[in-house]
Amino acid sequence: MPRLRLGRRTASGGGWKGVPVSGVRVLVGTRKGAFVLNSDGKRERWDVSGPHFAGWEIYHVKGSPADPDRLFASQCSGWFGQLIQRSDDGGRTWEPVGNRFSYDGEPGTHQWYDGTPHPWEFARVWHLEPSLGDPDTVYAGVEDAGLFRSADGGQSWQELPGLRCHGSGASWQPGAGGMCLHTIIEDPGAPGRMFAAISAAGAFRSDDAGQSWRPVNRGLHSEGIPDDDAEVGHCVHRIAMHPARPQVLYMQKHWDVMRSDDSGESWHEVSGNLPTDFGFPIDVHAHEPDTVYVVPITSDSLHYPPEGKLRVYRSRAGGDDWEALTTGLPQEHCYVNVLRDAMAVDSLDDCGVYFGTTGGQVYASADAGDSWAPIVRDLPAVLSVEVQTLS
């Protein structure tokens, strides 16, 4: 069984040096299936397998940090609903596991777009977060927003209702893409501490392994809601953490790139010189907790890069000061989007950065973003990208 190298959201960011690398595996979810890309440590040639689950929407595929051969995939369809697939051999074969996501108790209502109460209804699993330490434990973030947990490798799912039943739940409203719970982060430095983010409710923190939750949105400001610094109602698009410095969180919000230095207790804006602070993904360099990546998107009504130029922006200062990374990326006539779960990093010595586009390209950089090349192109629209560094 290959071992996962220490790195992103697994343990200390140190400890990678000198560990032999057998390869890098990129897990891609698209509108019409999943793809698994494998390369050796040079990351020059990629073997592409797929589509797995052809024709189905694959919102997310992610591997277990505790057993990298164990992968989970969220497979769904507007016609046939939700399935969860599991692989125990690194994506070569898959088996369906449990797909029953029942809210705990009487689910009640949240707000609909027009402000009226709307029954809580399960639609799909947006995000699967395998536990840091146990390959049988995996969390699922779903639409309508809820957090589920499986302790038996995905065979059965139980809601952690403390989040949805937080006192503000009845006031949550969906974002344009639905009321999705899209971010789940376990804090490797504080056992029991977890973060979750919901569009468009905001960020939440638990200090008791998901049993109870409280909003952690102080400092977020959202124009267009009655109280622009309300406790909830903020359209958080993505949160990222470096495992070596878990008290620092980075957030790409609907508008604004934000940073917290105190585990979400407060946030401050670090958009700095970005050409636009709208976007979806955000991620952190595997070995440099102050190096952050975003992909600015023109606006909430123009979901493509400014000026038709696809640019990743990197800050080496934990925000505020950003540089455009353009080498190898299309700098004209590019009107794709990069969705919130579609960026990831590997943990090789020269940190690799990967992202997928709604145009079906997956771009990779083997030099921390200095230069880019597509490792596959012309896939269906990419919904998610995850990376495993195998040793």
Binding interface with other proteins (CB under 8 A): 53-56, 77-83, 96, 99-100, 102
What are the b/e assignments for 125-147, b being 16+ CB within 10 Å? bbbbbbbbeebbbbbbbbbbbbb
In the complex with other proteins, the residue whose CB is nearer, 20 or 80, is: 80
In whole angstroms, the minimum distance from the beta carbon of 32 to other proteins comes to 11
Shortest spacing between CB 319 and other proteins, in angstroms: 43
1, two tokens: 């069984």
> Positive or negative CA dihedral for 181, 369, 64, 212?
negative
- C-alpha–C-alpha distance, residues 324 and 5, integer Å: 29
Choose between 81 and 192: whose C-beta lies nearer to other proteins: 81
Give me the phi and psi of 59, to 5 degrees please: -70, -35
Query: If we measure between CA atoms, which residue out of 11, 5, 71 comes closest to residue 36?
Result: 71
Overall residue count recorded for the chain in this entry:
391
Which C-beta is closer to other proteins: that of 83 or that of 230?
83
CB of 36 to other proteins, least distance (A): 18
Rounded least distance, CB 374 to other proteins, Å: 28
From the CB of 69, what's the least distance to other proteins, in Å?
A: 22
Task: State how far the Cα of 288 lies from the Cα of 290, in Å rounded to an integer.
Answer: 5
Question: For 308, phi and psi rounded to 5 degrees?
Answer: 70, 20
Considering beta carbons, is residue 79 or 223 the nearer one to other proteins?
Answer: 79
Instruction: Please enumerate in sequence order all residues whose Cβ is within 8 A of that of 71, keeping only pairs 6 or more positions apart, or say none.
Output: 27, 61, 62, 63, 64, 86, 87, 90, 91
| Residue 287: CB minimum distance to other proteins, A | 41
3-state secondary structure 102-134: CCCCCCCEEECCCCCEEECCCCEEEEEEECCCC
CB 200 within 8 A of CB 210: no
Q: Which is nearer to other proteins, 14 or 55 (CB)?
A: 55
- What is the DSSP secondary structure assignment for residue 5, as one 8-state letter? P
- Determine how many CB atoms are found less than 10 A away from the CB of residue 14: 11
Tokens 């989970």 belong to which residue? Answer: 72
Nearer to other proteins (CB atom), residue 156 or residue 299: 156
Nearer to other proteins, 81 or 167 (CB): 81
Tell me the closest approach of the beta carbon of residue 81 to other proteins, in angstroms.
5
Nearer CB in complex with other proteins: 7/380: 380
Residue whose CB is less far from other proteins, 100 or 268? 100
**β-bridge mates for residue 344, sequence order:** 354
What tokens appear for 242 in the block? 């470096």
Neighbours of 151 (CB within 10 A): 14
Q: How far is the CB of 153 from other proteins (least distance, A)?
A: 16
Whole-number minimum distance, CB 56 to other proteins, in Å?
7
| Choice between 80 and 378, CB closer to other proteins | 80
C-alpha span between 216 and 109 (Å, rounded): 22
Taking phi first (over 0 means left), then psi (-120 to 50 degrees means alpha), and beta for anything else, what does residue 219 get?
left
The least distance separating other proteins from the CB of residue 102, rounded to whole angstroms, comes to 8
